[in-house]
């Protein structure tokens, strides 16, 4: 959730008709938003994180105007033609391959509007832009810029400019080490061979995204009437969406929006785009979901009041468009949800279900609970560990040969690169985190592993497994075998064992086991691994399938 802090006066400044605080609270409730503080002078409103277009006072007022019928459909954005150009050079593509931009003219800024712009910038950075990982926003006074602008990659020591609110000129690397914003976001650039930089036609540095603007070319004041706005990052839909949100914001503030031509090496795009997504909504789906009998022509104004454009209508289907920045709309049912809000949930009549059912525990869940009860009765403590892990810990740390597993794509955190396909390497994390505590350790985990399965739609399958860990001075294979026998008795089956050589375990002290139809293994962990992990006592492991 994002908390929008504003005032009733500020909201009414953008409304077609003024609202009372009571009317505001009532309308927000119908829209699915919550008025956290009903003080007219300091109004706080909870906005869901996916509604990035509502994190500003003008954005919220835009939605209120549509909901109350003062406007309808997607807000229009008049984009004026221009010759402004940003040239995205090949040198920057490996580190920050996209940017969208526009120019604002004739905007009259005051203290409140300047605070609003900074607020929106911070909230978009925190939510939509994932704390500047996906995108970052730069706003500059137009008067100091010489066109065209270049977006290029440069070596850190070659970048030299005076960062915002500092009195000295620093290199790119020094900014990451000395500037407060540089220190906070250094992890986004520090390991890169080149840093992204915006420069104007006279080679004046405008900014080093996503870190900081230049003090001389990137400081906006209330006196500025013309601005240059850019959004750079790694994912074009995010840059384009944020660019659209900001263009609408400045338009609502009275500014005139001028297009900027972004020249990529392979093509040129004029932004802002206000790109639309299209859905075909079945009228039957609406009525089946809501229990209504609405005709298509009655649904259209409900959609328009939730800021959708309707392009085609027939008795069975409605073609609906919404802006790219509406990240909350993924499926036609999301449109139905908005229709219900516009129709007012209070107007939907509840119907008692015709089928009576009694809930119960799934057999698999009951089976797992029986196994847990057995181990708790034997003095074991349950632990829960992560399904995501690293290749190094899951395989190399335990001398395991790499087996087929699910890898994570586009990994940013090297400690999480895969999904576990065995339990014991991860259950051992609980032991490692508590190895300084008093012995003995008697731990167990009932959890899921992810295995590759080409026969499923996703190519993977989730399996439930049990892991038992014994760690104390006399921990042994014999003791663990007694635990296995107790589990077998609990579930009413026989346990059988056969010799098995397992990497990472002491040869001759391991076994393959069969508990009824459930397979598994047990063994004493090799001292070499225990020494590497810093564990001073013998450790015995049991792992078996639970389905």
pLDDT digits (tens, 9 = 90+) for 349-407: 888 888 888 888 999 999 999 999 999 999 999 999 999 999 899 999 999 988 899 98
Q: What is the predicted pLDDT for the residue at 128?
A: 86
Q: Do domains 278-347 and 363-545 have the same CATH topology?
A: no
CB atoms within 10 A of CB 308: 28
Which residue stretches of the chain have pLDDT < 50?
Answer: none
Q: 363-545: what fold?
A: BirA Bifunctional Protein; domain 2 (3.30.930)
pTM: 0.68
Please tell me the CATH code under which domain 2-67 is placed: 3.30.56.10
User: Which own/partner pairs from 191-195 qualify as long-range (CB within 8 Å, at least 24 positions apart)?
Assistant: 192/95, 193/155, 194/91, 194/92, 194/94, 194/95, 194/153, 194/154, 194/155, 194/156, 195/95, 195/153, 195/154, 195/155, 195/156, 195/159
pLDDT in tens, 63-96: 999 999 999 999 888 999 999 999 999 999 999 9
**Residue whose token pair is 């409605």:** 318
Q: What are the residue ranges spanned by the domains of the chain?
A: 2-67, 79-271, 278-347, 363-545
Q: What is the predicted pLDDT for the residue at 100?
A: 97
Please tell me the CATH code under which domain 278-347 is placed: 3.30.56.10
Please tell me the CATH code under which domain 79-271 is placed: 3.50.40.10
The answer to whether the beta carbons of residues 208 and 197 sit under 8 Å apart is yes
Q: What is the predicted pLDDT for the residue at 458?
A: 87
DSSP code, position 18 = -
Distance from C-alpha of 402 to C-alpha of 389, rounded to nearest angstrom: 14
Instruction: Name residues whose C-beta falls within 8 Å of residue 513's C-beta, 6 or more positions apart in sequence.
Output: 484, 495, 496, 497, 498, 519, 520, 521, 522, 542, 544
Instruction: Name residues whose C-beta falls within 8 Å of residue 506's C-beta, 6 or more positions apart in sequence.
Output: 523, 524, 525, 526, 527
Which is it for strands 85-88 and 149-154: parallel, antiparallel or unpaired?
parallel
What are the backbone angles phi and psi of residue 30, rounded to the nearest 5°?
A: -65, -30
Give me the count of residues in the chain. Answer: 547
Q: What is the predicted pLDDT for the residue at 139?
A: 97
Q: What is the predicted pLDDT for the residue at 357?
A: 86
Q: Is 316 strand, coil or helix?
A: coil
State the virtual CA torsion across 63, 67, 69, 74 in degrees, nearest 10.
50
The answer to whether the beta carbons of residues 290 and 348 sit under 8 Å apart is yes
Instruction: Name residues whose C-beta falls within 8 Å of residue 99's C-beta, 6 or more positions apart in sequence.
Output: 86, 88, 151, 230, 231, 232, 233, 239, 262
């Amino acid at each position: 959730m994002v908390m929008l802090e504003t005032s009733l006066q500020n909201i009414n400044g953008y409304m077609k008709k003024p609202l009372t605080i009571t009317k505001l609270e009532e309308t927000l409730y119908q829209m699915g938003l919550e008025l956290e503080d009903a003080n007219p002078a300091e109004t706080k409103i909870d906005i869901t994180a996916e509604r990035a277009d509502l994190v500003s006072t003008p954005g919220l007022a835009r939605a209120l105007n549509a909901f109350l019928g003062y406007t309808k459909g997607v807000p229009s954005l008049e984009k004026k033609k221009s010759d402004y150009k940003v040239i995205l050079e090949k040198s920057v593509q490996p580190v920050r391959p996209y940017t969208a931009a526009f120019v604002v003219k004739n905007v009259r800024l005051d203290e409140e509007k300047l605070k609003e712009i900074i607020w929106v910038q911070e909230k978009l950075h925190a939510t939509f832009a994932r704390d500047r990982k996906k995108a970052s926003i730069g706003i500059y006074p137009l008067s100091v810029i010489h066109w065209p602008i270049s977006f290029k990659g440069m070596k850190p020591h070659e970048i030299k400019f005076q960062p915002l609110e500092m009195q000295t000129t620093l290199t790119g690397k020094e900014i990451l080490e000395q500037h407060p914003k540089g220190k906070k976001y250094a992890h986004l650039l520090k390991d890169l061979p080149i840093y992204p930089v915006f420069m104007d036609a006279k080679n004046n540095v405008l900014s080093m995204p996503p870190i900081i603007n230049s003090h001389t070319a990137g400081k906006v004041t209330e006196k500025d009437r013309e601005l240059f706005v850019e959004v750079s990052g790694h994912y074009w839909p995010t840059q384009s969406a944020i660019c659209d949100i900001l263009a609408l914001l400045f338009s609502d503030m009275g500014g005139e929006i001028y297009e900027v031509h972004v020249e990529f090496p392979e093509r040129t795009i004029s932004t802002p785009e206000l790109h639309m997504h299209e859905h075909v909504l079945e009228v039957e789906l609406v009525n089946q979901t809501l229990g209504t009998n609405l005709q298509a022509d009655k649904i259209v104004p409900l959609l328009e009041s939730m800021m959708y454009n309707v392009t085609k209508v027939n008795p069975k289907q409605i073609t609906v468009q919404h802006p790219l920045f509406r990240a909350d709309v993924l499926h036609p049912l999301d449109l139905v949800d908005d229709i219900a809000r516009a129709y007012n949930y209070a107007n939907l009549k509840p119907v008692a279900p015709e089928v009576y059912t009694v809930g119960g525990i799934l057999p698999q869940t009951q089976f797992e609970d029986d196994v847990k009860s057995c181990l708790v009765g034997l003095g074991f403590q349950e632990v829960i560990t992560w399904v995501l892990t690293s290749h190094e810990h899951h395989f190399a740390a335990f001398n395991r040969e790499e087996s087929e597993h699910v890898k994570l794509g586009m990994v940013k955190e090297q400690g999480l690169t895969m999904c576990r396909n065995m339990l014991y390497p991860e259950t051992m994390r609980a032991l490692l985190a508590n190895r300084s505590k008093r012995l003995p350790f008697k731990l167990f985990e009932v959890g899921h592993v992810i295995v590759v399965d080409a026969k499923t739609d996703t190519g993977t399958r989730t399996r439930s497994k049990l892991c038992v860990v014994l760690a104390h001075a006399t921990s042994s294979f014999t003791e663990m075998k007694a635990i296995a026998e107790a589990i077998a008795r609990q579930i009413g089956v026989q346990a059988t064992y056969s010799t098995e050589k397992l990497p990472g375990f002491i040869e001759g002290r391991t076994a393959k086991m069969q508990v009824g139809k459930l397979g598994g293994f047990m063994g004493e962990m090799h001292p070499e691994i225990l020494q590497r992990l810093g564990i001073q006592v013998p450790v015995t492991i049991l792992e078996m399938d639970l389905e």
